[in-house]
Each structure stands twice: as structure tokens, then as C-alpha cells.
Amino acid sequence: MSQSRKVSGLLPSLEECAPIRGAHDLSERDVAALHLTQERLQGILVGHGYERVDVPVLEHSDLYLRKLGSRVAARLFNVTDQRGERLSMRPEFTGSVIRSYIRSASSLPLPVRWQYCGPVFRDDEAGGPDVARQFTQLGVELIGAGGPRADAEVIAAACGGVDHLGLGPARLIIGHSGIVPRLLEGMQLSDRVRMYLAGHLDLARQGVDGVNQLRTGLEEVRTRPGSPPSGSDPGFETGAGSDTDLMAWLLGQGTTSTTGRRTTEEIVRRFRTKAQGTDNPAQVERALDLVAALSAVQAAPEVALARGRSVVQQFGLDPGAFDELAALLECLQPFSIGSTSISVDLGLTRALGYYTGVVFEMFSERVQSGPLGGGGRYDGLVRALGGERDVPALGYAFTVERLLEAADRPLPGVAAQAAKTLVAPRVAAALSHAVRMVEAERRAGRVCLLELEDRPDEARKAFCIAAGITRLVSVDSDGAATEQTVERTASYAPAGAP
Amino acid sequence: MLRLALPSKGELESPALAFLKACGIGVNRPNSRQYTAEIPGLRGATVLFQRAADIAAKVAEGSVDLGITGLDTVKETLHFGSRVDVLIEDLDFGGCDLVVAIPETWIDVSSMADLVEVAEEMRAQGMELRVATKYNRLVRRFFLEKGLNFFSMVASTGAIEVAPTMGFADVIADLTSSGTTLRENGLKTLSDGTILNSQACLLGNLDALRRDPDAMATTKAILERMEACLRARDYFTVTANIRGESAEAVGMFVMNEPDVAGMQGPTVSKVYSRHEDGMEWYATTVVVRKDKLLRAVEHLRGVGGSGLTVSSPNYVFGAASEAYQRLLGALDRAPVA
């Protein structure tokens, strides 16, 4: 029994012939649809002045770990190269595009308008078979332009793309990643609590359970003085003890003196900083209330802004935090955005962690698996990835597969395949005539295939029908050609053909 | 023939054998050097002793059909998704936690958020936080989910607890059941640093079970016994003699408190004794959850019970084996190889 299992293990089973979970094989038709969509969107973007660039599929893992945020960092496909360098397959383009920009920044006039298209890879351990692990992103980066006009132009370009593809009405949802962090700055909280809240806003909109989860998380990150395990306290709480006292206490507690590779000084320094920045629990709870209240605001732009400002005023904070968002909405008005409807969602968050300003997502009713695309402003990224100065920038990316899913009928232009001709030499001596004919056809811009097999006429006809070939030319040794039109008849239709 | 893998040595070995014995499917292992054994109470099964750390992989590759091992190694090794299914997640032994532990002297670090900051500080100094662990995959995912992006793994087998003292790692992630070993090595845990609550579990290879109806039937028998044995641990059987006019009347009395009146209701049977006042004695038996024992005793006394005896059932069977139903569901969902 074990013998037979071993043998069968050598041959790929049907399952092993399938692509990996979350990736797909594409047929001619799929590829044509994908390319056509890409070409159309890229054409529009070229019209906006976006130049096409490309970047490698593999990058140093660091590039993504630095700024992506844990939701995407945890989904990286990682590899180690033969020298032991840690590399990752790109989970998105922005990191690479910005890296590429930084390299050539000095020679580029700002703003830079770049567009890209290609596959991205995101692993997903828990995800089911429907979670895509490879998909195609098409997007733009507008680097070196700040302010609402740039925001509006980029958003309008995204809407224009969806409109141009004829995908039917789309919903544009706009939020702003800078509002909550700015409001939290006025609330006497430690950096840690602020960053945690700003990074977990998605929980705040998941009702009572989400808010409770947020509260539990905050309890963990809330900065509080470390409690000495036992024994005398050389002024820990008050910060009165000297560093020497603290160190003596540290080392004298009967513990081993293991500190890993950190020095005692480092530990003590950080301990003191931490003790000074202790969070007041009531203040943390207030911040949680604020975040929960703002995250619940989803409405038409004017209504949402009014509600947001009123929430902020109740908390005695500055309603000026909404000015940028309001300015963007104002700027967006003269742009034509087709049949797209706009709403504002103050709790909108994106999986990527680098956004600092306006964020947006586009949805179609026909696609349930997620947004068609989205993006936002990430003014801090250029410096975070090694740029010498802050450069304002924003961008977005579409998931091309979702755009295709949103098209309820095949995109015009995909269905009509080019007419194909098959040229068959009747005898071996006819080959040179046949080749000349095939080459002439191709030069004339037609699709022409050379018959590679000697087979009976009936079998050849059946092949033509199955392969979608409409014209069959048979060539004799003297160069005489007989032409026939192949029509699909019921008896020739291959199994499973429509 | 069903092939069942058991831990050959280490902390799971004897509890696993004891558990099977309690389930009525004790293993007959003539001597500890022998790596195969039989289960006399279960025809059609053969036992293979393997290293606990290898068992998940053996089940995944299909060289055994079922295995008992720690959930930690299962979660760490299983890359094969739907082909292997955890049939019973908690066998009630081998309990331990996979935790992050740091030097006790790091008084500034009490949570993962602290550790994230320390890692960033170290990175600013050109170092990377080093973690020694046998659980690369679980630890990596846990760290990334907690926002700890910059760290390196130090491959380590054997005594991981000494890695920080030896200086080749800053922190460790390892199993602990009481924390004693960690403390003795000058390490402490973090408030939110538990990666996994682990215990022994039973896992099976779905393809192998699907192929072999005999193995499937034997698996059903194993699941039934394990489940009934585990369920029995939650219950006591309480018997009391109660005086009453009739069995129905006694039954009704006892049913007044449905919470402690047994799984379906009491079993009431007549006791043949000399009676002086026209009342009869009835032996009344209820099966109750362990945490309800004292309430059940009070209740039975309250309705006139005396001579109460309490015993533990060996098995409690439900209407159907839940674990077996789950297995059938998993077979339905899993793609056919």
C-alpha cells in the first residue's frame, strides 16, 4: 500500500496541476480583456500627462516593512536570495515607485506624473480560495504636488477612468487620514496611544465589539510606569532616584544580569521616558469616544462635514481639522466625474499604513469582493524611504481584475477576435508555396497559421472549427490554391462549445 | 489499516498513552524501544511512535492517517491547508502556552508595544532585534501583526531559554506551562505576548481517510471514544433515594429545577423497602455538570433525598459524535486530490 502511494506521489495529481490558491491561469480571452482594460486606462492617463514606468517584482523586504503597516507587512511573500538577503515580492507599487523617484529625484522637474501596471502579490494564510494572492494593479503617483487641487485632479482621473470603461455608476468614498491624528494631538496622549488609535480606526466602525477590541488594545499600549517586581523602590514612580540607584536596584534584584544586547543605561533611559509620558485612563477613554463618534459619520459631503464638525466641537477640539477635506471637495466640483456619486466617510481607512491626508476608494455595486481601487495622499513617504526632504505626493491604484468583474458584459473589442486563416500544403512539395503565402498574409496584417500536420480534410475542418479558424487555404505543389470558408455546423461543434 | 502516530518521547508521550487508556483504547507497547504497537481494543489500527515535532508533517504527507501531538507544532508546520484537519482540538493534556519572553531586567518593557519601540531603537543603532525560537512561522506572523517589523530569527534548538544570557538573541519565543524555567533563566513574559494556547490535539489526513473506508470506520470509533471520554470529565452522576407517592411525583419534584435535573431528566426507579406510612422510596439518578454538583445535591436534599452517592461516568455519549460530523463536513469541503 505504501509502495503504491509513493509511486502516485511522483506524478502530479490533478490538484497539483492547478495554480496555487489565489492565482489564476488566463485564456486568450481573459488576457485580451485584461490588456484592453489596461490600454484604455493607460491611454486616458497618458492624456493626463502620466508617463509609464515599471519597477522590479522583487525588492528588499525593508522597503515594505518600513512604512506599509502591519496589515500588509503580514501578507508579504518573502524569499531569501543566495547571499542571504531578504527580499519580498511587491505587494503594491507605491513603495517601489517612490524608491525609484528618490534615486533620480535631482534630475526630475516637479511634479512628476507616473503611472504603472503589473501584478502584485499578497499572501493570506487564513484566506479562502477566493482571496486573490496575485492580482493586477494599475495606478498613478503624482509626486511633488501638495494641496487640494492636486488631490482633486488625481481623484477626478480615477473617476474618469471608471467612466471611460463604461462600468456603470460607481461610488466614490472620500475620507481623510490626517483628521483623527491631528485631533488626537490636542488630547494629551502618548505617541503610542495616538499611533495605536490612528492605526486601528477600522475597529472603531465595527460597532460595540470593535470598540471593545480597541479598548483592550489600548489597555496594552497605554504607557504606564513599569512596576518594579518587589523590594525597595529607589524613586521609580517619582523619577527621583539617580540612574546609578536604578541600575544598582536592577542588578541587585537577584535576577541574572542578562540584558540581551541592550545596555543598562538604555533600559533605564527608556524606563524614565516612559514613566514621564504616562497616559491618563480617562483621557484615553475620551479619545476612544471621539474616534468612535467620528468613524460613524458616513454621508453626503456637506452633511458629513457638518456632523464631523459638530462632534469635534462637542469635544472642545478644533473644527479646523476638516478644512483640508472641505477644500478638496470644493476643488473637485469643476472636474467632470461622470456618473460617479460622492460620499464622505470619516472612518475610511486603507490597509496601507502610509497615508497622511485625503484617502478614497471607489466601489461598484456589481463587485462584492472589495473596492475597484483606492488611494490617497502620503506626504511622509518620500522621506521615510530615504528621500532628503519631504515631498508631497499622492496616488491611487485600481485592481484590474475587479474592473473586469464590474463590466457586466464583455468589453467591446474583446469579443471580436481577428479572423484567422489556415494554410495547408496538400503534399510535401507544396510547402514552399504555402510558406510564401503565409508570410504574405502576415505582412498584410492578417492572422495566418501554417498547417503543421498531414491529416484528412474532415479532421482539418474539425480543427479549424474548434480553433476558431474561418478560412482554409489548401496549396498544391504547383502553387495553385483552393480556398474555402469554414462554417460552424452542429456536427462539427466541439463538445462544450457555446 | 489505520495508522495512528503517537509521540515517542518527551512531555506528551505518557499523557497520550494514559489518555488512550482512559478512552478504552489502551496501547499495547511491549517495550519502549519498539516503534510500532497495537491497540488490542481496536482492530484495524496500528500505532507508530514518532517525534512529537514530526507528527504534523507525517500526517500532512500521508505516511500516517491520524496523529496526536501538540497544537503548537501543528500550527507551526502545517502548510498543506485543507488536506489535514484538526479533528479534536483539545485532548485535555499537554497544556502550555507559546509566549514571547524577554530579559527580566528590561523593566521598561511590559507589552508588545514596548517591544516594538525597543526594536525600532535597536534598528536606529544598526542592530536588529534577535528572537530565538523553534516556531519561526508563528512568531513571524505574530510579530508582524503586532507591528514589530524589524527583527531577525535565530534558528535554535535545545535550550532556547539561555539564548539571551549567551548573547546570541535578545528575546525568545518558546513553550511554557508554569513559567518556572523562564524565571530561572532571568526571563519574563509580556502582558500581551501569548502567541498561542496549546495542548495536545488529534489530527487526520483527509485524503487518506477519504481513500480508505476501513480507516474511516476505525477513525469514527476513535473519535466516538475520545469525545465521550472527554465529555465525561465535565459530569458527575448523582444518585439519591427520595421518598414520594409515585415515580411520577418524584420525577416532577426533581424536574422543578431543570438546570440540575440531568441531561434529559432524572431516571427514577422504585426501591423495594419496608414502608410504614404509605410512601415509597425511589432511587433517582441525574447526570450533572461538575460545576453544578453542590446545587444538585442541595436540590435533591430539598425534595427529600437522602443517601446521596456521586460517581464519575467513564463516558458520556451524545446523540451523535460532533467530531465525526465535523470530519464529514471537512471531507465535503476539501477538494478531492
Report the distance separating Cα B70 and Cα B201, nearest Å.
6
Where are the domains positioned within chain A? 19-176+349-414, 225-276, 420-490
Residue A126 has pLDDT above 80, yes or no: no
Contact B46, B1 (CB under 8 A): yes
Helices (H), A339-456: 381-384, 400-406, 431-443
Q: Do B38 and B103 lie in a common domain? A: no
What type of residue is B218? T
Peptide bond into A111 cis (omega under 30): yes
Q: Do B224 and B278 lie in a common domain? A: no
Cα dist from B132 to A154, B39, B71, B142, B177, whole Å: 46, 39, 20, 14, 18
Query: Taking the CB of residue B332, how many other CB atoms lie within 10 A of it?
Result: 7
Q: Do B325 and B219 lie in a common domain? A: yes
**Which has the closest alpha carbon to A294: A257, A322, A266, A329?**
A322
CA torsion, points B209, B212, B215, B216, in degrees to nearest 10? 60
Interface membership of B185 toward A (CB under 8 Å): yes
Cα dist from A496 to A14, A466, A490, A492, A493, whole Å: 20, 10, 12, 12, 8
| CA–CA min distance B216, chain A (Å) | 16
Q: Provide the pLDDT confidence category of residue A493 given band limits of 50, 70 and 90.
A: very low
Residue A274 has pLDDT above 90, yes or no: no
Look at residue A299 in the predicted model and tell me its pLDDT. 95
CB contact under 8 A, B111 and A221: yes
Residue A42 has pLDDT above 60, yes or no: yes
Mutate to test the interface with A, among B36, B82, B104, B188 (most CBs of A within 10 A): B104
Interface membership of A248 toward B (CB under 8 Å): no
Interface membership of B159 toward A (CB under 8 Å): no
Cα dist from A376 to A155, A344, B176, B303, whole Å: 9, 14, 45, 72
Residue A259 has pLDDT above 50, yes or no: yes
Look at residue B320 in the predicted model and tell me its pLDDT. 87
Q: Provide the pLDDT confidence category of residue A410 given band limits of 50, 70 and 90.
A: low
Burial of A19 (0-12, 13-18, 19+ CB in 10 A): exposed
CB contact under 8 A, B122 and A73: no
Q: Do B125 and B193 lie in a common domain? A: yes
Longest CA pairwise span in chain A (Å): 110
Q: Which domain holds residue B180?
A: 96-197
Look at residue A321 in the predicted model and tell me its pLDDT. 93
Per-residue pLDDT tens over the stretch B38-62: 999 888 899 999 999 899 989 988 8
Interface membership of B127 toward A (CB under 8 Å): yes
Interface membership of B118 toward A (CB under 8 Å): yes
Contacts of B170 in chain A (CB under 8 A): 260-262
Packing angle between helix A281-295 and helix A191-199, nearest 10 degrees?
20
Burial of B175 (0-12, 13-18, 19+ CB in 10 A): buried
Look at residue A380 in the predicted model and tell me its pLDDT. 87
Report residue B23: phi and psi, to 5°. -80, 0
Report residue A14: phi and psi, to 5°. -55, -35
Q: Do B156 and B215 lie in a common domain? A: no
Interface membership of B18 toward A (CB under 8 Å): no
Cα dist from A219 to A212, A213, A224, B101, B193, whole Å: 10, 10, 10, 20, 14
Report the distance separating Cα B88 and Cα B200, nearest Å.
9
| CA–CA min distance A65, chain B (Å) | 6
- Give the one of A2, A70, A228 whose C-beta lies nearest to B107's C-beta: A228
Interface membership of B121 toward A (CB under 8 Å): yes
| CA–CA min distance B103, chain A (Å) | 6
| CA–CA min distance A233, chain B (Å) | 13
Q: Do B78 and B104 lie in a common domain? A: no
The stretch A8-12 carries a mean pLDDT of 44
Nearest-by-CA chain A residue for B165: A258
| CA–CA min distance A73, chain B (Å) | 6
Residue A236 has pLDDT above 70, yes or no: no
Handedness of CA B246, B247, B252, B257 (dihedral sign): positive
Give me the residues of A, 32-91, that contact B with CB < 8 A.
65-66, 69-70, 73-74
Report the distance separating Cα A231 and Cα A210, nearest Å.
40
Strands (E), A110-238: 112-121, 134-143, 170-176
Look at residue A351 in the predicted model and tell me its pLDDT. 76
The ipTM is 0.70
- Residues forming beta bridges with residue A399, ordered by sequence position: A137
3-state helix, strand and coil shares in percent for chain A, rounded to the nearest 5: 45, 15, 40
Interface membership of A4 toward B (CB under 8 Å): no
- Give the one of B108, B146, B337 whose C-beta lies nearest to A226's C-beta: B108
Packing angle between helix A207-221 and helix A281-295, nearest 10 degrees?
150
Interface membership of B130 toward A (CB under 8 Å): yes
The larger pLDDT score, comparing residue B302 to residue A258, is at B302
- Give the one of A192, A221, A258 whose C-beta lies nearest to B164's C-beta: A258
- Arithmetic mean of pLDDT over chain B: 88
Q: Provide the pLDDT confidence category of residue B105 given band limits of 50, 70 and 90.
A: confident
Q: Do B222 and B292 lie in a common domain? A: no
β pairing state of B171-176 and B267-271: unpaired
DSSP output for B176-236? ESSSHHHHHTTEEEEEEEEEEEE-EEEEEEHHHHHH-HHHHHHHHHHHHHHHHHHHHTTEE
Nearest-by-CA chain A residue for B105: A259
Interface membership of B164 toward A (CB under 8 Å): yes
Q: Do B24 and B39 lie in a common domain? A: yes
Per-residue pLDDT tens over the stretch B113-135: 899 989 988 888 888 899 999 99
Contacts of A226 in chain B (CB under 8 A): 107-110
Report the distance separating Cα B122 and Cα A97, nearest Å.
28
Nearest-by-CA chain B residue for A193: B113
Q: Provide the pLDDT confidence category of residue A14 given band limits of 50, 70 and 90.
A: low
- Give the one of B141, B164, B335 whose C-beta lies nearest to A74's C-beta: B141
Residues A78-86: contacts with CB under 8 Å, at least 24 apart: A85/A60, A86/A60, A86/A61, A86/A62
- Give the one of A192, A220, A255 whose C-beta lies nearest to B192's C-beta: A220
| CA–CA min distance A390, chain B (Å) | 20
Burial of A359 (0-12, 13-18, 19+ CB in 10 A): buried
| CA–CA min distance A220, chain B (Å) | 6
Nearest-by-CA chain B residue for A65: B149
Look at residue A363 in the predicted model and tell me its pLDDT. 95
**Contacts of B267 by beta carbon, 8 Å cutoff, 6+ apart:** B284, B285, B286
Contacts of A257 in chain B (CB under 8 A): 105, 186
> What is the DSSP secondary structure assignment for residue A252, as one 8-state letter?
T
Residue whose grid cell is 499600549: A221
**Which has the closest alpha carbon to B314: B238, B260, B236?**
B236
Contact A348, A361 (CB under 8 A): yes
Q: Provide the pLDDT confidence category of residue A13 given band limits of 50, 70 and 90.
A: low
CA torsion, points B153, B155, B159, B165, in degrees to nearest 10? -50
CATH number for the domain whose boundaries are A19-176+349-414: 3.30.930.10
- Give the one of B108, B149, B171 whose C-beta lies nearest to A267's C-beta: B108
Look at residue A223 in the predicted model and tell me its pLDDT. 64
Q: Do B133 and B83 lie in a common domain? A: no
Look at residue A408 in the predicted model and tell me its pLDDT. 66
**Which has the closest alpha carbon to A117: A27, A35, A62?**
A35
Residue whose grid cell is 491624528: A181
β pairing state of B151-155 and B129-133: parallel
Burial of A171 (0-12, 13-18, 19+ CB in 10 A): middle
**Contacts of B31 by beta carbon, 8 Å cutoff, 6+ apart:** none
| CA–CA min distance B52, chain A (Å) | 22
CB contact under 8 A, B108 and A125: no
DSSP output for A41-103? HHHHHHHTTPEE----SEEEHHHHHTTS-HHHHTT--EEE-TT--EEEE-S-SHHHHHHHHHH
Give me the residues of B, 82-111, that contact A with CB < 8 A.
102-111
Q: Do B260 and B131 lie in a common domain? A: no
Residue whose grid cell is 513599569: A226
Question: Among A106-115, A187-196, A423-432, whose mean pLDDT is lowest?
Answer: A187-196
**Which has the closest alpha carbon to A119: A136, A102, A103?**
A136
| CA–CA min distance B4, chain A (Å) | 15
Interface membership of B58 toward A (CB under 8 Å): no
Look at residue A386 in the predicted model and tell me its pLDDT. 86
Q: Do B302 and B324 lie in a common domain? A: no
CATH number of residue B240's parent domain: 3.30.70.120
Q: Provide the pLDDT confidence category of residue A417 given band limits of 50, 70 and 90.
A: low
Per-residue pLDDT tens over the stretch A338-372: 788 999 999 998 877 789 999 999 999 889 889 99
Residue B336 has pLDDT above 70, yes or no: no
CB contact under 8 A, A70 and B103: no
CB contact under 8 A, A258 and B104: yes
CB contact under 8 A, B105 and A255: yes
CA torsion, points A374, A380, A381, A384, in degrees to nearest 10? -150
Q: Do B184 and B246 lie in a common domain? A: no
Contacts of B117 in chain A (CB under 8 A): 192, 270
Q: Provide the pLDDT confidence category of residue A229 given band limits of 50, 70 and 90.
A: very low
Superfamily of domain A420-490: Anticodon-binding domain (3.40.50.800)
Interface membership of B120 toward A (CB under 8 Å): no
CATH number of residue B220's parent domain: 3.40.190.10
Query: Which strand (E) or helix (H) includes residue B88?
Result: strand B84-88
Contacts of B136 in chain A (CB under 8 A): none
3-state helix, strand and coil shares in percent for chain B, rounded to the nearest 5: 40, 30, 30
CA angle B9, B12, B16 (to 5 degrees): 105
Domain count, chain B: 3
